[in-house]
Amino acid sequence: MATPASESAGPRSGASHVRRNAAIFVGIVAVWLIIDQVSKLWFDAFSAGELISEPVAGVVGLRLVRNTGGAWGAFDGMTIALAIFSVILCVAILAYLFLYAKDATVMLTVGLSLVFAGGVGNIIDRFTHGYVIDFIQPLFIDFPVFNVADIGVTCGIVIALCSLFASGVREETEKGSE
């Protein structure tokens, strides 16, 4: 029986999927981490709360926030606990992708790569600074200030869930045609 993340039968199998997924994973994680860490390095040079730019089209502003908690200020001051929890989740992503879902689709691999990269980006902040460097402030809704790592986590979750949903629909369709 195929794993929930497996692709339909094709010319690729087992080891070739793992190699393909590993290449996708390493590439996305490296690029996303570089963008995340370089942007945080630049923004962390400003004073906390400082307006860094005028609002862009009234949609987004840039303001430095040094976040010692999670999203929406949840778990404020629990930097180390959040970092440890994030490390556990990142290890779980690696185990799932490379041990359980060896035949994961490209879409699932991309999604999990983004979640992993975002998690690692924020883990680096928590362990090196004692806070996460956030700087993107949506102005059109009441939403917390966030960063590139958070974009990776959010988009990655959506992509991974869409992949798992599509795989489930595909399996149900295949069962129905038997």
Q: Which two tokens stand for residue 70?
A: 């999670």
Catalytic member of 36, 103, 125, 150: 150
Q: Is 150 one of the catalytic residues? A: yes
DSSP assignment of the chain: ---TTBPPS-S--HHHHHHHHHHHHHHHHHHHHHHHHHHHHHHTTSPTT-EEEEEETTTEEEEEEEESSSGGGTTTT-HHHHHHHHHHHHHHHHHIIIII-TTB-HHHHHHHHHHHHHHHHHHHHHHHHSSEEEEEEESSS----B-HHHHHHHHHHHHHHHHHHHHHHHHHHHHHT-
Instruction: Say if residue 59 is exposed, middle or buried (CB neighbours under 10 Å; 0-12, 13-18, 19+).
Output: exposed
Beta-strand relationship, 132-138 and 51-56:
unpaired
Catalytic member of 44, 103, 134, 142: 134
Active site residues: 134, 150
